[in-house]
Structure 1
Amino acid sequence: MIKQIDLMFRTMVAELQQRAFDDDWAEDFPPSGRFVPVAVDGRRYWYFDQPDGEGGQKRRYVGPADDPVISERVETFKGEKSDYKARRKFVSTLTREAGLIAPDRFTGDVVQALAKAGLFRLRGVLIGTVAFQCYSAYLGIRLPSAAILTGDADLAQDFAISAEVADSLPPILDLLKGLDPTFRAVPHISGSPRSHAFRNQTGYRVEFMTTNRGAEEYSDKPANMPALGGASAEPLRFMDFLIRDPVRSILLHGAGISVVIPDPCRYAV
């Protein structure tokens, strides 16, 4: 039986989620830079210009201007002081006393590395069983831990977004090898030189998926994803439905990781 957690813990989740997002924002967008609106195909997007130390500017993608959370942060732009220790206490309380689910340590480290590298800033979405773990905090309910054991991390990004943001993660394989040097790219079943999955010697997998609104012939070939740091993605039907209008939540690992997951309403159909 699913049981709602106490109001005190639900309030703590909301506070932790905001603080984690604040900390990521302050780290990604220091006061030395400035936000710039850019129009692309009739829509406005925010980019961030920062001095590169050589007399020029480095431009990074921030997000759509019609995202109210992002636009509010742009308007009130300032650097926030990190409160890492306080957030760790929040996570500990929520997992030990409220009974919310935390990922295994390695999964948490993988998601944290991807988050710090900018995956969610580039509108990536955490999907699969790891995302399911985040619904406990998002909905304020206890979920059975036996139902959400995992040995992988699944991520998704819209194909059009990856092609248009003009920004990219650092090399994914290098990022993963920083956590475990045994990570290797997994050859695609089609024989393509591109890879959408990475695996370490214990069998832990990190996989990337994307939307497929095109012909059926694209279904069996990994899609080139310019924003994913050299990783490709497996194109899947109906993925566009799953990751449309995602929501922000928190993964209860370390000091809390601000993540983006599918709206739980997507599973109600």
Structure 2
Amino acid sequence: MDRLPVSLQTLYADMVDRSWSGSYAELIEAGGAPYRQTIGGREFWYLKMPMVNGVRKKDLYLGPDSSEVQARLHQHHDLKAVRGERLAMIRSLRAARLPGPDPLSGKIMSTLAEAGAFRLRAVVVGSAAFQTYSPMLGVRFDNTAGQTGDLDIAQFHSISLAVDDAIEQDLLTTLQRADERFRAIPSPMDGRRTLRYAIRVGNQEEFAVDLLCPLRGPERGSITELKAMKSDAQLLRYLDFLIYGEINAVALYGLGVPINVPAPERYAVHKLIVSRMRIETAESQAKARKDIRQAEALLEVLLEDRPYELEAVWTEAMDRGPNWRSKLLEGVAMLKKPVIKAMQERMKLQLS
């Protein structure tokens, strides 16, 4: 592992807090008043919006009650000064060669953040999320993420219904604010439903955004509606495990984009699982190798720095049944020998 200076890890943590605080502060400065509401025995924060031309806008969802949310809501900022500080911090982090999104991915995430997607607990998954783990964990990974030409965003169906809020415009219109070339790609099974959003050059996709939703229980088709995102989404198994208990992060683009990503230990274990589902074609096998490289890079640091968190998530996955266990153990067998040995010792694994 190539350890980063503690100062960079601290700077990144401060950047996360300032980016999320700044997003709340901008809403409050526009005239919103935060309040707490109990729903189903849990407490959540909302923002009561001001009257405009005699009409009150719909209240905005801010998130579940926590000490972090409370602190961010009650901090008072000089927004102009804060923006300058955030820009300087981003420059310092990028000058240290920490990974950030490509310009189009950064612009899309920034546009989604402004539309409220991450406030509504949408989660960035895939390589864009992996990039945030380097400064978060204080290590420099060996170019394991790469650029993939796509961006994956996920959200629980239950959250999409429960927040009683939504992004400002439908997802296609929102994406077209980032790049007007985006088009909705219809599902081959039902042309009335949207499979994904893509920029195409000729017959080739140059860039794609996939909206994903967890599938648990019996099969119920491949597409569902996410009301909070004003879009259809692809249903995927194992995704619920990945995005449960999402964490705040920041993409190193612009002034810093406040996003949500999976917990790194969930990301690592999930990659072991999905790597064994990509074995049919040469392209999917290349993705499987990348899955293993990302899992390996994370496991190396998590086994040393967050072993208890990793063990808890590993046990949760193993307890989900024989199909989960077989995929996990097959994934572990694909790792480098030192990581396999460390996993065997920590998780008491018996590999054939």
Normalising by structure 2, we get a TM-score of 0.70
Question: What letter corresponds to residue 214 of structure 1 in structure 2?
Answer: G
Tell me the distance in 1 between the aligned counterparts of 2:144 and 2:158. Answer: 36
How big is the shift at 1:77?
Answer: 5.3
Q: Which residue is 1:191 aligned to?
A: 190
Which residue is equivalent to 1:221? 222
| Alpha-carbon shift at residue 207 of structure 1 (Å) | 0.7
1:151 — aligned with what? 149
What is the correspondence of 1:144-183 to structure 2 with a 5 Å cutoff? 144-145=142-143, 147-169=145-167, 170-183=169-182
C-alpha displacement at 1:6, in angstroms? 0.8
Instruction: Tell me the amino acid that sits aligned with residue 40 of structure 1.
Output: I
Q: Which runs of 5 or more structure 2 residues have no equivalent in the other structure? A: 270-313, 315-352
Q: Which residue in the other structure is 1:60 paired with?
A: 60
**Deviations, residues 38-84 of structure 1 (Å, cap 9, x unaligned):** 2322322221111131334321111112x33113334x254542422
Q: How many residues align?
A: 262
Of 116, 126, 137 in structure 2, the residue corresponding to residue 139 of structure 1 is 137
In structure 1, the residue matched to 2:242 is 242
Deviation of the 1:15 alpha carbon: 2.1
What does residue 123 of structure 2 align with? 125
Q: C-alpha deviations, 1:219-238, integer Å up to 9, x for none? A: x3311111002x11111112
Identity among equivalent positions (%) equals 30
Sort the Cα spacing of 1:35 and 1:81 in 2 relative to 1 into closer, same or farther, 3 A: same
Aligned-partner residue type, residue 222 of structure 2: K
Instruction: Report the AA paired with residue 14 of structure 1.
Output: A
Deviations, residues 176-229 of structure 1 (Å, cap 9, x unaligned): 11222211001113225121410012420011101222321x2x3311111002
By relative contact order (CA 8 Å, sep 6+), the higher-ranking structure is 1
Distance 1:196 1:79, change over 3 A: farther
What letter corresponds to residue 115 of structure 1 in structure 2?
A
- Report the equivalent of 2:33: 34
List 4+ stretches of structure 1 deviating above 6 A: none
Distance 1:94 1:244 in 2: 28
**Post-superposition shift, 1:35?**
2.0
Q: Deviations over 1:59-115 (max 9, x none)?
A: 1111112x33113334x254542422332222222122x221111111110111101
Give the RMSD, CA atoms, in angstroms: 1.8
**TM-score with structure 1 setting the length:** 0.90
**Aligned pair in 2 of structure 1 residues 62, 147: CA closer, same or farther (>3 Å)?**
closer
**In 1, distance between residues paired with 2:120 and 2:227?**
11
Within 5 Å, give how 1:79-90 maps onto structure 2.
79-82=77-80, 83-90=82-89
Counterpart residue type for residue 103 of structure 1: P
Q: Residue 110 of structure 2 is aligned with which of 109, 112, 129?
A: 112
Equivalent position of 1:264 in the other structure: 264
Distance in 2 between the 1:62 and 1:148 partners? Answer: 32
CA distance in 2, matches of 1:39, 1:228: 23
Tell me, in whole angstroms, the C-alpha distance in 2 between the residues paired with 1:205 and 1:196. Answer: 11
C-alpha contact 2:130 2:145 (8 A) present in aligned 1? no
